[in-house]
Chain A
Amino acid sequence: MTHYDVVFSGFGGQGVLFGSQLLAYAAMEAGLQVTWIPSYGPEMRGGTANCTVVISDEEIGAPLMRRPSAVVALNYPSVQKYEPLIAPGGLLLYNASLTLRQPERTDIRCVPIPASDTAAELGTPKLLNMVMLGALLQITGVLPVEAVEQSLEAHLPAHRRDMLETNKLALRRGAELAQTLSVMA
């Protein structure tokens, strides 16, 4: 049985919504069940925004969970918020470019991705969400990077079409970084 749950969290404007939606689209297009739910409370108006994605090959019950099994933290407040919550054996993928201290838990896997720096090197700092998503795909194997690239082609808004190739590059760069880090670990 396939069952993944992942929380994307970051500042508004960091691409939390689009990055997580892209994963949801790719899951749907791969024929899987998926739920995507944003936080829509007052915290989205200044502070961290987060989205929870559940992917399964069975009917999905709870679309929210107390202890997520994976968290993609795009900023430092998200690391602080989610590090204590991740289920034992889970994954914390964090944007090392913006993180002030290393996570401390030893019962989860913590993978630093220099996402903002990498996106800046690619010439578009805003693509840090794609770098992180690429890394998530590489580490979890939930879906192939190519599947998400196809969803990107289908769902990138018309006024951003000129950024399609750069988005794909950022995804692949994230996957490569995660692979290198995994080999080093």
Chain B
Amino acid sequence: MAKQLMKGNEAIAEAAIRAGVEAYFGYPITPQTELLEYMSKRMPELGRVFLQAESEVAAINMVYGAACAGRRVMTSSSSPGISLMQEGLSYIAASHVPVVIVDVMRGGPGLGNIAPSQSDYFQMVKMAGHGDYKPIVLAPATVQEAVDLTALAFDLAERYRTIATVLLDGVLGQMMEPVELPAMRALPTTPPAWAITGAAGRAKNSVVPFRMQADDLEALNLELQRKIAEIARREVRFKEYLIDTTSGSTDKAELIVVAFGTAGRVALSAVKAARQKGICVGLHRPITLSPFPDERLSQLADEARGFLVVEMNAGQMLQDVKLSVGGQAPVRFYGRTGGQVPMPDDIALEIEKLDEMTGHPLDHKIEGPVALRPVDRPARRQETSRTSRN
């Protein structure tokens, strides 16, 4: 099929339709509204359910209900709307029902603004509601990846009966890129065996978000933890650029930039620019934020001289990178907040600093300053001599 030029929001909507989503419930919010708008047109055309709810709280509970009935269902929102959905998400997790959530993050906290941000990493990756559980979180960096990961989100949600989130930001939601869409999948013909579909002629199914006895609730928690562990074993995904791990290779990355989504693709430009200057740096871009690629990062930390984490927040994934690196190498951080997108030249400068800081073996134990970008920064820094190495 020929490529099409599509906005991230619209491409995700079409990808969900092709993955066989049977019902969409949502409430408009910038910068994801085009997703809902696209659904409002396409879903009725296909005889499927589109409903604009009265609020995000209502939308997530409609999603919950449809999921309990065994229907392939999704919603989408942006940061403040996702906050409103937290209670519903927790109930969904407790009920072991599959749902797909798309969060097109915007600047926070509070009403914040409508500019792109990654400040809800903690909210989605760590819990997405109260209680002990974690959803699957997929973080695309291109519109094509958003399409592919949306289809994957439905597969994983159903395979593990869990919440699968596609987590992106306003840049990817609003940006157009060429995409190749997958073929239209057939809708499921029969609901899963556990679904609430009316118990005529069979034993009654039960899907509930509570266990009143401590023993029972602990059993539910253990089951959730078993599922999370299995997902962590089987579903880690990431993409690496210019990290040559062949032993003895001269191209091997000595410095590793870790960034996801939009920050990840901007970092790619910076990494390429730094390579041009002779700095041996590569990029590790997690695609699954949950499960996190901790084993791979730990492996890279065995040989890397240092890490730079770049995020559009005040340092959230940074904590997971630090845990993975486990003190084996210094970890610096560069972040922008408030809806600012880091620019390639800023990241390139941070890579040069990391190179300088880790240039001497004795410096290894010195933790880099975890500082946000200062307001005033000289436009250009003088070329640093790197004669201390090589």
Interface residues, chain A, CB within 8 Å of chain B?
Answer: 21, 24-25, 28, 33-38, 40-42, 59-67
User: Are the C-beta atoms of B171 and A41 separated by less than 8 Å?
Assistant: no
Which residue of the partner chain, among A28, A35, A61, contacts B268 with CB atoms under 8 Å?
A61
User: Are the C-beta atoms of B265 and A61 separated by less than 8 Å?
Assistant: yes
Interface residues, chain B, CB within 8 Å of chain A?
Answer: 3, 5, 30-31, 113-115, 170-171, 174-178, 265-270, 272, 341, 343-345
A to B CB contacts below 8 Å, 18 in the list: A24-B5, A28-B3, A33-B178, A36-B177, A37-B176, A38-B174, A40-B30, A40-B170, A40-B174, A41-B114, A41-B115, A61-B265, A61-B267, A62-B344, A63-B265, A64-B266, A64-B341, A67-B345
Best-surrounded residue of B178, B266, B344 (most CB of chain A within 10 A)? B178
A24-B176, A34-B177, A40-B31 known; A64-B171 Cβ under 8 A: yes
**Cα separation A60 to B345 with both chains bound (whole Å):** 15
Nearest-Cβ distance from residue B266 to partner chain A, whole angstroms: 4
Residues of chain A within 8 A (CB-CB) of B177 are 33-36, 60
9 new A-B contacts, CB < 8 A, other than A36-B176, A41-B115, are A21-B176, A34-B177, A36-B5, A59-B268, A61-B265, A61-B270, A62-B265, A64-B343, A67-B345
**Cα separation A28 to B5 with both chains bound (whole Å):** 8
User: Are the C-beta atoms of B269 and A62 separated by less than 8 Å?
Assistant: yes
Report the 8 A-B pairs with minimum CB-CB distance, sorted nearest first.
A61-B269, A61-B268, A36-B176, A62-B269, A62-B266, A37-B175, A28-B178, A66-B343
**Cα separation A25 to B114 with both chains bound (whole Å):** 27
A28-B178, A64-B343, A66-B345 known; A37-B265 Cβ under 8 A: no
User: Are the C-beta atoms of A34 and B178 separated by less than 8 Å?
Assistant: yes
User: Are the C-beta atoms of B174 and A37 separated by less than 8 Å?
Assistant: yes
User: Are the C-beta atoms of A21 and B266 separated by less than 8 Å?
Assistant: no
Nearest-Cβ distance from residue A64 to partner chain B, whole angstroms: 6
Nearest residue, chain B, Cβ from A28: B178
Residues of chain A within 8 A (CB-CB) of B270 are 61-62
**Cα separation A60 to B344 with both chains bound (whole Å):** 12
Residues of chain A within 8 A (CB-CB) of B272 are 61
Residues of chain A within 8 A (CB-CB) of B5 are 21, 24-25, 28, 34, 36
Residues of chain A within 8 A (CB-CB) of B115 are 41
**Cα separation A62 to B270 with both chains bound (whole Å):** 9
